[in-house]
Amino acid sequence: MSNVLVELSNSMAAAAEKAGASTVLVNARRRMPASGVAFAPDLILTADHVIEQEEGITVLLPDGTETGAKLAGRDPGSDLAVLRLDKPLAKPAETSPQARIGALVLALGRPSPEGIEVSLGVVSATGGPVRTPRGSIDRFIRTDTTPFPGFSGGPLVDAEGRVVGVNTSGFGHGIALTLPADYAWKVADQLAKHGSVQRGYLGIRSQGVDLSAPAQKALKREQATGLLVISVEKDSPAEAGGMIVGDILVAVDGQPVADHDALFARLAGDAVGKSAPVEVLRGGQPQKLTVKIGARS
Amino acid sequence: MNVSVLLDGALDELLERIRPALAVVMDRRRGAGAGILLGNGLVLTNAHVAGRGRSLQVVLENEETHPAKLLASDPDVDLALLEIPVNGHAAAVLSEAAPRPGEMVFAFGHPWGHRNVLTGGVLSAVTSLRGRHGEIPVLRADVQLAPGNSGGPLLNMAGQVIGLNAMIFGGDQSVAIPASILRRFLGEALKKMPGKRVPEGVL
């Protein structure tokens, strides 16, 4: 018999199967294995906290092939790590552009050689940027799926089997979060290329301040706070761009900067090397500067 | 028509069909579990629900209560076969399809004594557990279960039995004995009892 319920069930199973073909077992700690998701034939994205050893890492592919892997890069701030496989035989996952609140999702893992494990839920919330114990993340997804043991590093997938994000329970307090796929892929790309995540650098020290009513009016937008520049490092990108002590930083790259978290978010990802428009309040008047964002060492 | 309306309809239909095949298995001293009616008076449940089979009673959906006889029991796979002295009641159908992780499932039973409660989730894993005599294949699902779900069916979306809920870890992880093992247990048990058989189309 076939009805809409059976069809839905079949499509969920097909989604799990499709994403399962890109979900691998990651053996890099003494306790139980964890999971990973392939984003290139030779590259596996997984959770940083499940990598407890840099030597002797192995990955079990869905077809049963076991291969050695090297740690290509890791970013404790976002709890992401990239492994490079000795045998480039993984099947890269297809990603999903967005996570809609309420959408049906499956959390997938491969914590044992017996096969994939799956848990069903919905997208409960999206948010970010947020501080993590060892850094910060731009955005996150929360779901009500059950993170079974060994699910960290595995994908969250939509009803079509596309990867919505990477799951981790590595931020402590037993909370499982999902890093959105586009963000995770961007971090993964940097980890594969540079071994670490490059974070942008301006060369200022700053302090959050309230904007006066006339200053807010001059900005012509709803922004109540900015960052008062209290020092500018010599030979820094900020100095080269013309920033001076006393400026109130209010926007970077066209996005309002109301606090430090917002500034970090603007300096994350692929900001390094970019000539970005920077807006400051100087003497109460908005001024546009251009700063070539440097790399924080 | 809206998909959710179609889903609702399909759900109602499934529930109507499966509800008469779910029984309560009671032991005067040890509380109650669930059981699946297979036709010809046969009831499948957990060995830990049936116990030694003394003073067992089976309550049908229409509240008829019947004394039940323990025909066979295998604690290794936690399965027991009971017989009640009535015939012609509804019967569940065992799935023949291979279980697929990610497929949707319903658990049906009497958690905490609440009758006929349906809980939903997906089949999480097709795996195995170490028993006393080696590994036994099991199904894991992320459905919410509680004591009283034991012996009840894990159903696929066609309303067929893909497993018998056996072990409840609490929270949202359950372990079910797969249909393949149910078939094997029934086959072996019925072979020793000439004259008793499961109606056609059930297994």
Q: What is the CATH number of the domain that holds A74?
A: 2.40.10.120
What confidence score (pLDDT) does residue B121 get? 93
Which residues in chain B land under pLDDT 70?
A: 1, 29-30, 168-173
Residues A248 and A185 placed together within one structural domain of the fold: no
Choose the catalytic residue: B27, B78, B110, B174. B78
Reported as a pLDDT band with limits 50, 70 and 90, residue A192 is very high
Distance linking the first and last C-alpha atoms of chain B: 35
Question: How many C-alpha atoms does A136 have within 13 Å on its Cβ side?
Answer: 18
Q: Looking at the complex, does the CB of residue B13 fall below 8 Å from at least one CB of chain A? A: yes
Q: Looking at the complex, does the CB of residue A32 fall below 8 Å from at least one CB of chain B? A: no
CATH of domain B104-179: 2.40.10.10
3-state secondary structure of B4: helix
What confidence score (pLDDT) does residue B129 get? 82
Which of A162, A181, A196 is the last residue before a domain boundary? A196
Query: Quick one: which H or E segment has residue A282?
Result: strand A275-282
What confidence score (pLDDT) does residue B30 get? 66
* Averaged pLDDT score across all residues of chain A: 93
Query: How far apart, in Å, are the Cα atoms of A201 and each of A232, A267, A271, A274, A279?
Result: 12, 7, 9, 11, 16
Rounded distance, CA A175 to CA A110, Å? 20
Residues A155 and A243 placed together within one structural domain of the fold: no
Residues A257 and A142 placed together within one structural domain of the fold: no
Pairing of the two strands B161-168 and B174-178: antiparallel
Reported as a pLDDT band with limits 50, 70 and 90, residue A269 is low
Task: With a cut of 90, say whether residue A223 has pLDDT above it.
Answer: yes
Residues A109 and A138 placed together within one structural domain of the fold: yes
Residues A78 and A150 placed together within one structural domain of the fold: yes
> Closest to B104 (Cβ–Cβ): which among A2, A3, A9?
A9
Residues A160 and A288 placed together within one structural domain of the fold: no
Cβ-Cβ pairs closer than 8 A, A with B, add up to 91
Residues A102 and A73 placed together within one structural domain of the fold: yes
**pLDDT, greater one: A251 or B168:** A251
Residues A156 and A176 placed together within one structural domain of the fold: yes
Residues A140 and A214 placed together within one structural domain of the fold: no
CB-count exposure of residue A289 (10 Å: 0-12, 13-18, 19+): middle
| Domain range annotation of chain B | 14-91+183-191, 104-179
CA dihedral A136, A141, A145, A146 (to 10 degrees): 0
Task: With a cut of 70, say whether residue A145 has pLDDT above it.
Answer: yes
Taking an 8 Å cut-off on Cβ atoms, the answer to whether A120 and B6 are in contact is no
* A236 is annotated as an active-site residue: no
What confidence score (pLDDT) does residue A136 get? 80
CA distance A291 to chain B (A): 49
What confidence score (pLDDT) does residue A185 get? 95
Residues A235 and A126 placed together within one structural domain of the fold: no
CA distance A158 to chain B (A): 12
CA dihedral B7, B12, B17, B20 (to 10 degrees): 150
What confidence score (pLDDT) does residue A278 get? 96
Domain count, chain A: 2
Please state, as a whole number, how many other Cβ atoms lie within 10 Å of the Cβ of residue B9. 14
**Where is average pLDDT lowest: A147-156, A205-214, B29-38?**
B29-38
B14 neighbors A5 (Cβ within 8 angstroms)? yes
pTM to 2 decimal places: 0.82
Nearest residue to A22 (alpha-carbon basis) of A156, A121, A112: A156
Rounded distance, CA B45 to CA B149, Å? 10
Which of A180, A196, A212 is the last residue before a domain boundary? A196
Task: With a cut of 90, say whether residue A85 has pLDDT above it.
Answer: yes
* A49 is annotated as an active-site residue: yes
A248 neighbors A227 (Cβ within 8 angstroms)? yes
* CATH at residue A238: 2.30.42.10
Domains B14-91+183-191 and B104-179 share a fold: yes
What confidence score (pLDDT) does residue B168 get? 58
What confidence score (pLDDT) does residue B172 get? 58
CATH topology of domain B14-91+183-191: Thrombin, subunit H (2.40.10)
What confidence score (pLDDT) does residue A104 get? 94
Which of A175, A196, A217 is the last residue before a domain boundary? A196
- Supply the range of the domain harboring residue A79: 1-196
Choose the catalytic residue: A22, A48, A49, A96. A49
Residues A28 and A164 placed together within one structural domain of the fold: yes
B40 neighbors B199 (Cβ within 8 angstroms)? yes
Q: Is the peptide bond before A129 cis (omega within 30 degrees of 0)?
A: yes
Interface test with B, best of A4, A11, A23, A148 (most B CBs within 10 A): A4
What confidence score (pLDDT) does residue B57 get? 94
* Helix B3-18 × helix A4-20 angle, to 10°: 100
Q: Looking at the complex, does the CB of residue A116 fall below 8 Å from at least one CB of chain B? A: yes
Rounded distance, CA A14 to CA B102, Å? 8
Give the list of residues 6+ apart from residue A110 with CB closer than 8 angstroms, or none. Answer: A20, A23, A24, A25, A33, A35, A60, A62, A116, A117, A150, A154
Rounded distance, CA A86 to CA A200, Å? 32
3-state secondary structure of A194: helix
A225 neighbors A259 (Cβ within 8 angstroms)? yes
Rounded distance, CA A218 to CA A201, Å? 27
